[in-house]
Amino acid sequence: MYTKGNIQMKLIRTKNYQEMSKEAARFINKRVHANPALTLGLATGGTPIQTYENLAKDYQQNETSYQQITTFNLDEYIGLPETDPNSYHFYMQKHLFSKINIPNEQTFIPNGQSDNLAEECIAYEDLIKKHGGIDLQILGLGHNGHIGFNEPGTSFEQRTHIVKLAESTINANARFFDTMQEVPKKAITMGISTIMESKEILLLVTGKEKYNALTKLLHGEIDPSFPASILNEHNNLTVIATEDAIISNKIS
Ligand SMILES: O=P(O)(O)OC[C@H]1O[C@](O)(CO)[C@@H](O)[C@@H]1O
């Protein structure tokens, strides 16, 4: 248990990415078994890929059914069609939805192709509310502290909104695209306020390149310049991190 101010977060240290992913899948499965109609918030990016593979394995081995759960994704790029391999719609089909028994109509991802993006943001918020809010939100951690696509400087009060991606995020995402021009510059994301209203949050952090970001989260000030810092104020937060994200290997 890690204590900061009055709030306690549970910090689970794992040896490597494989162990983190196993631990994360176990954590999620436990919640699905306790509440088969769980409303689950999902993240994309590199971090949760193996967690999703483990969830799919659990379904294939008849351990867990996802038939009654509902999912809400954090974010989607603006302008990428759902069929684009870099869209988060495509990512979710590829890594999870096509491998488990969740009905399509119970999976929600912001529509980054909507003609009216402002309306899409409001509709997404309404939908989450209609489902009674998110029971468990999975998060990854951006190098610059972003959660969802809430970039540094985003107000903690924000709800689902349109964002201009930070240069550092565009550069980090470039590894998935052939050319820099193809990397989307805008996205639609759940806001920090939306995320913080989740009843429970599971943050996954992997690799030494996330060491600085995790250190800032654990030991830094709570400040909009580092969006993830607000998680310290959530009363039901678990962090599962790899050893190298928690302890620096740098020789000083
Ligand atoms: O896991 P990555 O690829 O390091 O990305 C960090 C986070 O940034 C996002 O891609 C932004 O949505 C998250 O979904 C992700 O968890």
Cα 237 to chain centroid, rounded: 13
Q: Please give the model's pTM, rounded to 2 decimal places.
A: 0.94
ipTM over 0.90: yes
CATH 3.40.50.1360 fits 2-246, yes or no: yes
Residue 169 pLDDT: 87
Distance CA(21)–CA(241), nearest Å, equals 10
Give the Å distance between the CA of 166 and the centre of ligand 1. Answer: 13
Give the Å distance between the CA of 52 and the centre of ligand 1. Answer: 14
Pocket of ligand 1 contains residue 148 by CB under 6 Å: yes
> What is the domain partition of the chain in residue ranges?
2-246
Cβ-contact 201, 234 below 8 angstroms: yes
Strands (E) across 161-205 are located at 161-164, 186-189, 200-205
Tens of pLDDT along the chain (252 residues)?
666 654 679 999 999 999 999 999 999 999 999 999 999 999 999 999 999 999 999 999 988 999 999 999 999 999 999 999 999 999 999 999 999 999 999 999 999 999 999 999 999 999 999 999 999 999 999 999 999 999 999 999 999 999 999 898 899 889 989 999 999 999 999 999 999 999 999 999 999 999 999 999 999 999 999 999 999 999 999 999 999 999 976 654
Pocket of ligand 1 contains residue 45 by CB under 6 Å: yes
